[in-house]
Structure 1
Amino acid sequence: MQISETGLRLTKSFEGLRLRAYQDSTGVWTIGYGSTTNVKPRQVITQQQADERLRVDMATAEHAVNIGVRVVLTQNQFDALLDFAFNEGIGSFLHSTLRELVNEGKFAEAALEFSKWTKAGGKVLEGLVKRRAAEAALFTSPVKQEQNEHTHHP
């Protein structure tokens, strides 16, 4: 499976676009749409480079969700898990109770797990509270018929 336009909009809306390198709330150098790979202080990139970085970062997260989930997902469930894995990190996703519950087919319980991931640097961040709520809402929302053609079949 791959991210849909809905999922991409969700990630972009929470990451925001920054063409100049900055340190995130935990001090990690970041640029573009939340990219942390090989970012240097004072680095500047173009919109095109930001889009390319996002595609590469998303492909890595897509791979992790595709190999980490062993049950059939809707596009919305996939997109929500992908945004989570992108934001929290692949290792966090792969070792999470969220992923375990998804693989057990306990989707209602899994949806409640998003809200447990709202801290950065030991502090609850309002932005993460909102992001996790948006992911949970997407995860539990019905899929439009045209999206159903892209369900995940392990």
Structure 2
Amino acid sequence: MQTSEQGIEALTLEEGEVLKAYRCPAGKWTIGPGLTAASGVIDPKPGMVITKAQSRALTKQALARNYEPRVAGAMPSAAQHAFDAGILFDWNTGAIKRASWVKLWRHGAARSAVEAKFRLWNKGGGKVLPGLVKRRERELLILFDAEYPVLTQEFTSKSIGFARWMLKMTVDEKFEAMGAFSALGYKVGGNPKMIDAAEVRRFQSDHALTPDGLIGRATLSTLQRRIDAAAKAKAATPAVGATGSTAASLTLPEGTSDFTDWLSAQPWVIGAVAGVIALWVLWRAWQYRDVIAVKLTTRAPRLAALLRSF
């Protein structure tokens, strides 16, 4: 079977459709509805731009190559709408072959039993995510009732001066994103329905994204990387500062009563610790070179461009 056009539209609505390559929160170059080099159909590069038609063609290639065979094997004889629901689930989780709800569905279990197992796939990083809770509900409506999500005023409105949310998100998720914008110095306001588009475009321009004022997957992923980078940098500070106290807890050689005396007699220890810390800092800097590029754009634009090219 193949994914229906309704199924592809639903997938695009859930994942977003980004036509300029961006880094996902994990740092992988991504384009279209979440396509990375692992998709086997495209290898996104910095600055790469595709058309909407190309995005849809690549999506269909990725579905045929990676998802449709798996879902067809796990859900034989599925009606089109059930097959589409399986596709959406597998695109998001990659777990169609091991999800317990699939076996229940295949053996004709009661709807309530299937739904209970289906709803368990609502976590990310060990935490229940409101966005995934809502997504699972939308997928269940497709699975059992052939009820596909449709574009709403939220997605089609073109209010001048206000940014638009391009993904299905809960109110709490929107406020969390707005708080992140504000923490980074972008004054987006306090109303999720009236976000200053100019500030969103400023954020997008600062991060080499398409400055369209649309808050979609690329913008939110880049925002997450900024927040993650700041959190990891903050966490690293006490870790580095604790080096001495950690080392001080080591058992000292017999006859040595003071750790500083022992350390002064072992200068290689200081050099080794400093070297490890330096390597760790460099590795973190390389992982978040796109974030560093933002900070260097004004003072060292050439270096910033170089960092973005990798």
Q: Same fold (TM over 0.5)?
A: yes
Cα distance in 1 for residues equivalent to 2:78 and 2:132: 24
1:31 Cα deviation after fit: 1.1
For 1:6 and 1:54, the matched residues in 2 are separated by 13
Pick aligned residue for 2:54 from 49, 52, 62: 49
- Structure 1 residues 116 and 25 mapped into 2: Cα distance closer, same or farther (>3 Å)? farther
Q: Encode CA deviations 1:88-123: one digit per residue, 9 max, x unaligned.
A: 12xx21111122212222251223333211223334
**Counterpart in the other structure of 2:145:** 141
Q: Please report how far the alpha carbon of residue 55 of structure 1 lies from its aligned counterpart in structure 2 after TM superposition.
A: 0.6
Higher-Rg structure is 2
Q: Is the 8 A contact 1:21 1:42 kept in 2?
A: yes
TM-score (norm 2): 0.41
Preserved contact between residue 61 and residue 85 of structure 1 (Cα < 8 Å): yes
Which 5+ residue runs of structure 1 have no aligned equivalent? 144-154
* C-alpha distance in structure 2 between counterparts of 1:22 and 1:129, whole Å: 26
Q: Does 1:88 align with 2:93?
A: yes
Q: Could you say if the C-alpha distance between residues 26 and 73 of structure 1 is closer, same or farther in structure 2, counting changes exceeding 3 Å?
A: same
Determine if contact 2:75/2:83 at 8 Å carries over to the other structure.
no
Residues 43/5 of structure 1: CA separation in 2 closer, same or farther (3 Å cut): same
Report SS of the residue matched to 1:19. strand
Select the residue among 79, 87, 90 that pairs with 2:84: 79
How far is the alpha carbon of 1:135 from its aligned partner? 0.2
Gaps of 5+ in 2: 38-42, 148-310
- 1:81 Cα deviation from its structure 2 partner: 0.8
Shift of 1:136: 0.7
Equivalent residue runs for 1:1-154 within 5 Å: 1-37=1-37, 38-59=43-64, 60-70=66-76, 72-89=77-94, 92-106=95-109, 108=111, 109-141=113-145
3-state SS of 1:94 partner: coil
CA RMSD in angstroms, aligned pairs only: 2.2
Count residues with an aligned counterpart. 140
CA distance in 1, matches of 2:144, 2:72: 19
Moved more, 130-139 or 116-125: 116-125
C-alpha distance in structure 1 between counterparts of 2:127 and 2:54, whole Å = 32
Give me the whole-angstrom Cα distance separating, in 2, the residues matched to 1:19 and 1:12: 12
Q: 1:107 to 1:10 in 2, by over 3 A?
A: farther
Cα distance change, pair 97–47 in 1 and its aligned pair in 2 (3 A) = same
CA–CA distance in structure 1, aligned partners of residues 45 and 89 of structure 2: 25
Q: For residue 41 of structure 1, report the CA deviation from its aligned partner.
A: 4.2
Higher relative contact order (CA 8 A, sep 6+): 1
Percentage of pairs with the same residue: 36
SS at match of 1:116: coil
